[in-house]
Structure formats: structure tokens, C-alpha cells
Structure 1
């Protein structure tokens, strides 16, 4: 149910909001891992590598859609924090229109580009047929992913992070059942895995719509609100497009990595694919804290509470650093055992290569935790330039690692792309956030997200001084005697 994030201890509010996101991301990663286990063990390492070869391409387009829908929800959170329910409904209408338009473009264009794009990425010929099948089906079902992400984002924008978790869990359990049935039972191959994902996400969309209709009146859009004007659309695009492009820029770096991996052979592709699935569990946990901080900042921006924004970001940073250190220790010490779950016997080389990836990334998870919190805070403040620039920095670092370090050191050089990207991004984000906090304390209020917010005047603190004995004696002297 709707919940304001503008009251209560910041760390507690952020943590309670983040926990369902954490669990949801773990559930999502687990069902993706279940896909990998089923495909890898039933169909073999080559089929697992074929699915993995599509990862960067899917991330390029679907990641753009995911980032953009989260951007569309920021004005919704701002309006809800300000208590303006009419603005909430206008924001929902604008985001829905833009999400529908993006879904239509992806559904029509992306399947036609899948095959040529995979060839351009130098996907090994033995992997190309299955990789193309998986990508085409995934793109045809892009609208289900798009609308589930958008509906989840606007529900979270009004302070409810639990309900999307429930629907996501139902979707993930359904997906696992469908994957086992389609791949292991019906023999549909990688096509069965892709179809299962699309169907399960379609069910989650239906559940979200039913919940909003029955339980969340603030998100009901009246007929008049659907006449969205150009100003409202531009306002949402100003936040949604940079967040989408940021994800796409990162994906371009992943594409460069994929090209290098394809040149190194199927074992490298399979190892990297498996390691990314395991690494994704840890990254998802840290990303959840970043998203929680973003929604917290957005609502408090609308509510005029810059003091809470500052304290919430600092406390969120502390939680993220501790969590990332624990995750790093787990993956560094137990990486090989975890990787062994995904691949069958006799694939020791794949296991060793994947475990090396987890070692390099796990040691530097603390940097990633700081990155997510700072970037989430800036996005919640409505800033788009610096977060987008961090995407460019990550692109340069990943491409550099793939092309330079990959050429010199092979697979061992490629895996350094992520840590270098994280370090480069934090170097830009830290001073940008400090500058944003200083401006937040000085600039006047305006009505829109991303524009300056006035700081409330400082509360006048009245100190109550204890009256000394001379005062008490004077008072007694004025009391008439009996």
C-alpha cells in the first residue's frame, strides 16, 4: 500500500523499502540462474553459451527500456511526496503513453535486427542459430517486460516495494515451472526458455493491473488525465531518456566484451555467462539499495526535506559498504563451489575461469556499493548529466579492458573491465553529489523534479534556561504576605 518516505529514521525507512527490492532481485536472479541450470545441464554447454551470447544484445535494448521506466517513475515519486495526487495521475498517464510507444518500437524493430546484430558481434557459428532464436522470442515479448517494470516502478514510487516483490515471486516460480516443462519435458530447446520468460512476465503484468485497479486509487487515471500535453511528456523524457541511455551505454561496453569473448571461444563465453549469473545476485542486492535511496531522495525532494536527503544518503552508504564487503567475502571464498552448480562434470576449465571473474569483482564490490548509492541519490534529485557521464566512463573502461587488456592477457584481462568501470564512475559521482548537496541547501523552491528545491528555514531553537536562585528570590519577594 502507499507509504510516504518523508518521515521516520532515514536508515530504517531506506532499509525497510530496500528489503523487498533485495529479495525481489534475488528471486529474479535465482530464476535466471534456474534457466541457466536447466539449459546448461539439459541442453549442454554450447546451448548455455548461445543464451549467454545474447545477453549483451538484450541488455542493450531491454536495459534501455528498464532504465527509462524507472526514470518515468521519479516525477511520480516527487508528486506523491508533495501530496499532489492530481500530479501523480498526470505522471502515470504520461509514463504509460511513453512506455506503450517504446514497447511498440521494440516489438517491431528489435526482432528484425537480432540476427544481423549477433553476426556483427562475431557470435561463433555453432552458437548462432540458438542465439538468434532466443533473442527474437525475447524481443517479441518485450512489451511484457516493459510494462511490468513500469507498473512496478510507479507502485514503488508511492512507497510500496512489497507488492511488486509478491508479483515478481509469482512470476519467477511460474517461469521455473514453465522452463523445466518446456525444455526438459517438451524438448523445445532454448526457445522454450525464452517463451517461458515472456509468459511469466505477462502474468505479472496482469497481477499488477488488477492490484492497482482494486487497491491503489491514487494511481487511477481519469479520462481527462489521458490528454497528456507536450510539457508533461518532455518532463518525463528528460529523466527517462538519460537513464535509459545510461543503461544502453553500459550495454555497449558489454557488447565490446562479448566480441572479445566470442574470439576467445565457447569456453570463455560459457565461463563469463555463468559468472555473470552468479555475480548478478550480488550486484542486484547493491542495486536495490541504490534504487531505494533514489526513491527516498525523490519523495523527500517533493516533500521539502533536504535534511533527510543528506542523512539518508550517508546512512544508505554505510549499509551498502557493509553489505558489499560481506558479499565480496562470500563470492571470493566460495566462487568455485557455486559455479559448479551450473555446469556438469568435466568442465573444470570453465569453472576456474568463472571463479577468477568472481574473485576480481568480489574484491572491489565496496566500490560498486558506493557507486549505486551516489548515482541513485543524484537520479532521485532529478540530475541526469552526471549519471549519464558515468555511463560513458564505464563504457570507455569496459571497451578499453576488452580491447587492450583482453588482447594482452586474454580472458584474465577482460574480467578487469567491471572494476575499472566502477572506480572511474565513483571518481566522478563523489564530487558531483557533494556539489549537489551544497546547491540543495541554497537554491529556492520550484515545482518540478530536477529543478532547485528550497531548503526549509532552519528551525529556531529556543533554549530553556534554568532560573537561578536570584530570580526565584525576586519572584518570592513579589508574592504578597498573608
Structure 2
């Protein structure tokens, strides 16, 4: 019974009182663990496919990384925007308005998912062709995308339910959902790819099924929280509410899409260097999730913390919390960088198998890229801190502009630096994009926070 109570907890957390550092850490740690699980089953896909199906299959997964990030990021971005208003309503203790916000967010999320499913399936082959995907992997890449895109409604459902929970300070339930998804995904990967030899199709199917279970779990968790237990009348149109939600969500959606488009340009350049370079680039990108996972978790914590305290009109607490978050994020980034320098090359070998001459070349490419990113990881963490603080304040325009900055810097470096220093120049596109965006976001946050009375 105690076990069941823990796993079905309807806990919410008021972040408008208590130590900012402690609250942010308590909120962040479960999210970090959840992201670890998410990265685990993403990496298991890669390890199993890379070891069993070989380098070509690994390259096929890598060729669709940014496409998936762009498409699935649409529902992630827009639901993050909806969560800002939920957190503000919760901090202001406007319970009726909170229910209406949640209900309208559900409806807008469902509409977005249907539209996204249609567009993504229609454009999958076209975008792979546009990106100059190598002929020997384009078939596998397309099959993987088709299956994963069938799970768009499932991903959207998980995103909106998890956003509701996080806006109320509940980061434990999304963690449990990710644990469930990771276990299911690993088991199904071993069955579909290892036993049934379904190749990339098996990995994609395992991922979709695992995501469905995590969405269902979060749905039942949300239903147990009284303050967001919505009724039919909560869906009745509230003048201006849809517009307000879209005003918050659309810039984040656009920010994610424009960053993804920049990533697609990088992928286009990478594809031109052949499938071995694509495989090495892919191996490191699978570790990118580990590099970034704590930053994402701090980001969710800061949005909730700032949103709740803005609703409660506690501006001094916002300043203290953001300062504390910056320090915590920096220390975390240094720790992760050290881990990568010590164990990164060994981890990369888990993704690569095949002809020894090919695997050695792929490993060298992957390690070079990983070492460059790990050396300046703290920049990415500052980017997340200040972007999330601005979003929590309700300012989603500057983060959107930072996405445009990332796009131009990433694309500019990707297109021109390799001409000066060879194909390795592509590795610096990511760090340059982080730096440009981080400078803009930090400056904008300090300007905004001084304006708030």
C-alpha cells in the first residue's frame, strides 16, 4: 500500500515560500532522474541498433535526429508555454481560472497534435530528400520517421499532462512516468530488434509504445489532483484565454522550430561528408542528451518557480531563485563535463560496431566533437537558466528571438567554417549558437527584472 501511495502521489509543491535553492533542487532532481531514464532508452535504441544492425542503421537514426526534434518539439514547446500561465494561476491561487486554463490547454494541444501528425507524415520523405540523406540509409530513416510520427498524439498527451504536473510543482510523477517508459522501451527493444530483427522499425515501435504508457500514467496522476479536476463547463470559451495561451506557447514553439531548422542545415552539411561522418556525429549527439539533461531540468524548475512567484507578486524571491539556479547550473555543468572527459570515449564505443577500420574512424570523429562540447558546457546551462527565467516572467518573445540568433549563428558557422578548417569546423556550430543566445538572454533577463515593480 505504501508503495502504491508513493507511485500515485498527487503531491503539488508551493514554491512561493521556503529556501529557493532547496525548492529548486527538490524540483530539479526528479526531473534529472526522469531525463536520465529518457536518455537511457534513447541510448538503448542506439546501442542495440548500432551493435546488432550495424553502422548504416546507426547513421539512419542520426539522419533523422533534428527532424524528430523539430516535429516533436512543436507539442513540447507549445505545452511549455501553456504551463507558464498555469504556474502563474497556481501562485496567485486563482483556482477557477486554473481549471479553465488547463481545459483550454487540453483542447489546443489536441488540435496541434492532429495538424502536426498530418503535416509530418506528408512531408517526411520530402525533407529527407531535401537534406541530402545518403541513398544507402534514406529508406531506413523514412521507415523510422513514419512509425515515430504515428506516436505524435501520444507525445502531445504526455507533454500536456506533464506540463500540468510541473506547473503545480510536481516533478516526481513525470520521473516515475519516465522510469516506466524506460523499462518498457528497453524490454521491447530487446524483443523487437534483438529477437525479431526488426531493425530501426523495431526501435521506433518500442519508443512509441513506451511513450504511450508514460502518457497514460501522467493522465491518471492529473485526475487525482482536485484543483485541476476539470468539468465540461471549464471547456466553455473564456474570451481572450485561447489568445493568451497561444501568445505564450507560440513563441516557444517557433523558438524550438527555428532552432531545429538550424540543426537541419547542420545535418545537411554533415550528410555531405558520407555515412561514416554521419555515424560519428550521431554517436555524439546521442550523448548530447546526457550533456543537456540537467539543463533542461533546471529550466523546468525555473519556469515553475518564477511563474508561481510572479503570480504571488514576490519579485525579490524571483531574483534570489534565479541567482541560486545559475550557481547550481554552473556547478552541475562542470561535473558533467568532467564525467565526459573521463568516461566519454568509453561510452561512445557502445554505439559503434562493424568493420574495425570504419569503427575507429567513427570513434575519432565522435570523440573530437564530444570533447569540444564538454569543454564549454557551462554556456549551455546559463542559456537554459536565463531563457527559463524570462519565460516564467511571461516573456516568451526574447527567448524566441534567441532561437533566431541560434539559427543564424549555427547556420553561418556550419556553412562557412568548414571551408576554412575542413569538416571538423562543423563541430563549432553548436557552441557558437549557445554563446550568441546566452548573451542575449542574460542581458534581457536583467533588464526585465529591473522593470518589474
TM-score (norm 2): 0.95
1:168 CA displacement: 1.3
Q: Does 1:436 align with 2:448?
A: yes
CA contact (8 A) 2:382 2:438 kept: yes
Pick from 243, 267, 275 the counterpart of residue 276 of structure 2: 267
Retained in 2: the 8 A contact 1:268–1:411?
A: no
Residue 287 of structure 1: how far off its partner (Å): 1.6
Tell me, in whole angstroms, the C-alpha distance in 2 between the residues paired with 1:438 and 1:382. Answer: 15
Alignment of 1:107-122 (within 5 A): 107-122=117-132
For the pair 1:94 / 2:104, whether they are aligned, the reply is yes
Structure 2 equivalent of residue 49 of structure 1 = 59
Cα 1:210–1:424 change in 2 (3 A) is: same
| Unmatched segments (≥5 aa) in structure 2 | 1-10
Cα contact 1:11–1:312 (8 A) shared by 2: yes
- Report how far residue 427 of structure 1 moved: 1.6
> Greater CA deviation, 341-350 or 313-322?
341-350
Compare the two structures and name the one with the higher helix fraction. 2
Q: In the TM superposition, what is the alpha-carbon distance from 1:230 to its structure 2 partner?
A: 4.7
Q: Secondary structure at the match of 1:6?
A: coil
Give the Cα separation in 2 of the matches to 1:427 and 1:2. Answer: 34
Say how many residue pairs are matched.
440
Shift in Å, 1:137? 1.1
Q: 1:7 is paired with a residue of what secondary structure?
A: coil
Residue deviations 1:337-363 (CA, integer Å, cap 9, x gap): 111111126211111111111111111
Alignment check: 8 A CA contact 1:79 1:85 kept: yes
Please provide the CA RMSD for this pair: 1.1
Q: Is 1:26 aligned to 2:36, yes or no?
A: yes
Secondary structure at the residue paired with 2:134? coil
- 1:109 Cα shift? 2.1
Q: Deviations over 1:394-413 (max 9, x none)?
A: 11111012100133333311
* 1:87-124: CA deviation from partner (whole Å, max 9, x where unpaired): 11111111101100011012222111101110011000
Q: What whole-Å deviation, never above 9, does each CA across 1:427-448 have from its counterpart, x for those lacking one? A: 21122111111111x3xxxxxx
For the 8 Å contact 2:75–2:112, the answer to whether it is kept is: yes
Match of 2:251 among 242, 248, 261: 242
* 2:430 alignment partner in structure 1: 418
Higher relative contact order (CA 8 A, sep 6+): 2
Match for 2:332 among 318, 323, 326? 323
User: Which residue does the alignment assign to 1:348?
Assistant: 360
User: Displacement, 1:373?
Assistant: 0.4
2:73 is paired with a residue whose SS is helix
SS in 2 for 1:264: coil
SS at match of 1:4: coil
Residue 362, structure 1, aligned to residue 374, structure 2: yes
Whether 1:64 aligns to 2:74 is yes
Query: How far 1:228 sits from its partner (Å)?
Result: 2.6
Q: TM-score, normalised by structure 1?
A: 0.90
2:142 to 122, 128, 132: 132
Alpha-carbon contact 1:260-1:406 (below 8 Å) kept: no
| Residue in 2 that maps onto 1:445 | none
Q: What residue is the counterpart of 2:4 in the other structure? A: none
Partner SS for 2:424? helix
Q: Deviations over 1:9-44 (max 9, x none)?
A: 001000100001111111101110000001001111
Greater C-alpha Rg? 1
Pairing 1:189–2:233 present:
no
CA deviation string 1:204-227 (max 9, x = no partner): 1211222222x2111111111111
Assess if the C-alpha contact under 8 Å between 2:166 and 2:300 holds in 1: no
User: Deviation at 1:76?
Assistant: 0.6
Correspondence 1:295 to 2:307: no
Structure 1 outlier segments of 4+, above 3 Å: none
> Which of the residues 390, 398, 402 maps onto 1:390?
402
Unaligned ranges ≥5, structure 1: 443-482
Measured in 1, the distance between the counterparts of 2:429 and 2:284 equals 14
1:105 paired with 2:111, answer: no
SS at match of 1:388: helix
